[in-house]
Amino acid sequence: MKPPLALIEEIVLLSLDDETGAHLPLPPFALGLGMAGALLDDLSMAGRICTDGPQVKVLNAETTGNPLLDPWLALIAKDSQEHSVHYWLSILANEKKEIESEALAHLIERGILKREDKKILWVLGLRRYPTIHNEERVEVRTRLERLILSDDPPSHFDATLISLLDGCELLHAIFRGDQYEARSARVASIAASDPVGREVAEALRELLSTVLLAQTATSNPF
């Protein structure tokens, strides 16, 4: 039996299109922040850090044994000062390329994804990550769908996942339609339970606002 997926793995898995393996369209910075939040929450669930207070506190710097988490635990632990969740989200989001690359490699190693490289006009590379059997993605989506459309109490893991997906706007890319819009209050209630997910949403709003202001200033220089 395969070990369960970590939050960072489920976030990366859900960020890919079911059929093509291409990245789902998301706002700038969204996936990076979502992955950063997943790492912090994974480390929290592993008992290594605490994210509930104003500052992220290291509770145990011992490695988890998970190569997706341990380099970032070491990064947080070696800092002589404590910083906010917001701070660590910005630091880890800047490492999006490395974090995503490691997560994808791990999912490929576990036999969940495969890598396909294609060429357009024999020159430009096009990389996709389709699932091999699609069991894991279907399981995650079905699990979340049932939770959103019901009034059952969520597990801590699923509540955290929904909060992160909602915060980085990936939930809207996964579930579309009036049925889910009608459950927006349910999603908001679940998402509010995780402080890191709330910080992801706030950080994304701030970044998008900054980008919009910069674009406005560029288009209207005087």
Please give the domain boundaries of the chain with CATH numbers for all domains.
7-206 (1.10.3630.10)
Model confidence band, residue 119 (pLDDT cutoffs 50, 70, 90): low
SS3 content of the chain, % helix, strand, coil (to 5): 55, 10, 35
Task: Among 9-23, 48-62, 146-160, 199-213, name the one with the lowest average pLDDT.
Answer: 199-213
- The one-letter amino acid at 196: V
For 34-68, b/e burial (b = at least 16 CB within 10 A) is bbbbbbbbbbbbbebbebeeeebeeeeeeebebeb
Model confidence band, residue 113 (pLDDT cutoffs 50, 70, 90): confident
CB atoms within 10 A of CB 21: 16
- So what's the pLDDT on residue 221? 55
144 HSE (CA, 13 A, CB side): 27
Contacts of residue 90, defined as CB under 8 A and 6 or more positions apart, other chains included, come to 36, 203
Q: What is the pTM of this model?
A: 0.89
With H, G, I as helix, E, B as strand and everything else as coil, classify residue 61. Answer: coil
Model confidence band, residue 213 (pLDDT cutoffs 50, 70, 90): low
- So what's the pLDDT on residue 139? 87
Contacts of residue 159, defined as CB under 8 A and 6 or more positions apart, other chains included, come to 190, 191, 193, 194
Q: How far is CA 173 from its chain centroid?
A: 13
- The one-letter amino acid at 9: E
Nearest to 174 by CA among 206, 199, 148: 148
